[in-house]
Structures are given as C-alpha cells and as structure tokens.
Amino acid sequence: MEYKEAKDKFISTWGSLGTLWGINKAMAQIQALLFVSIKPLSMEEIMEELKISRGNTSMNLRQLMDWGIVTKHLIPGERKEYFSTEKDVQELARIIAKERSRREIQPVIKILEEVYTIDEDGTENTKELIKQTKALHDLAETADTMLNKVVNQKQNWLTKSLLKMFT
C-alpha cells in the first residue's frame, strides 16, 4: 500500500469510528487529517483534501477547537488561518475523556440526582424509581471520579500502567 492510499484509508476509518463515538464523520476526518499532517493546514487545504464544503469545514474546526484538540495558528505574513491537532496520543485521549465527562457524564449524574431525590410518597413504584436511579447515579459518579483521577494524571506511572492494560 502506498502513502496516499494508506493515509486515505486511515482518515476514512477514523471518520467511521467517530460516528460510533458520537461525533460526525467530517469532524473525525478533519482531526485525523491534522493528526497525520507534518505541518498545520489551512481551511482550504483541509477542504481540498477531504472534499468537504467551507461551511462544514468551518463548523467542525470550531467544534474541534471547543473540544480543545485543535489549535488555530497565525503564520506571520499569511492571511490564512492554519490548524493543527494534539500529536501526543495519550494527551489527546486525556483531553477527549475530560471533555466527554463534562459534556456527557456530568449532566446525566445531575439528572439522576434530581430523580432519586424526589419526595417519597410511600408507593412501591416511587421506592423502586428512587432505588434504581440512586444506584445508577452512584455507579456513574464512581466511574466519573475514577476517570477524572486518571485524566488528571499527566503521564505518571498510573496512567501509563492503565494504558498498557488496555493495549
């Protein structure tokens, strides 16, 4: 397999995986392209390489910057903006895990807490609702706490050990 074919295959596969993780294909493909690029790319270069519209590229770059995994660069003498992504795989995983916790897990924990703290009216249905949602809340909170402990460790022995266990 030649370079271009391998690069295209990686970007396409990463885009497909992104949809399984809850992000759109173009967003994942942009991040993948930037990940394997040796220099920051302009919006026009990204559009041309991935064959996507300016609006789609702009919207997805904004989202990637909001996630904290893409950075905008201004190059002296250039009018264009250039973009790059985090290259350290472990740091990238740390940033994504932290952001997913903030966007996904924390809101669910808050809702579960609202539900299990309702006034008990003495009925079996209410007791069961409180019991089960409290159990889910406690599990989600424990998992989030563990995830945050790992996420907040920057390349220490614990993080390296956990990553080795899963690879």
Q: Do 27 and 64 contact (CB within 8 A), yes or no?
A: yes
pLDDT digits (tens, 9 = 90+) for 79-118: 899 999 999 887 887 888 888 888 889 999 999 999 999 9
Q: What is the pLDDT of residue 165?
A: 66
**Alpha carbon distances (Å) from 143 to 26, 103, 153:** 30, 15, 16
The yes-or-no verdict on residue 148 having pLDDT over 90 is no
Regarding pTM above 0.85, the answer is no
Same-domain check for residues 103 and 68: no
The yes-or-no verdict on residue 163 having pLDDT over 90 is no
Same-domain check for residues 127 and 78: no
Q: Do 3 and 38 contact (CB within 8 A), yes or no?
A: no
Number of domains in the chain: 2
Mean pLDDT in residue range 113-138: 93
Same-domain check for residues 13 and 80: yes
Where residue 12 falls (left for φ over 0; alpha for ψ -120 to 50; beta otherwise) is: alpha
Q: What is the pLDDT of residue 8?
A: 93
Domain that holds residue 142: 89-165
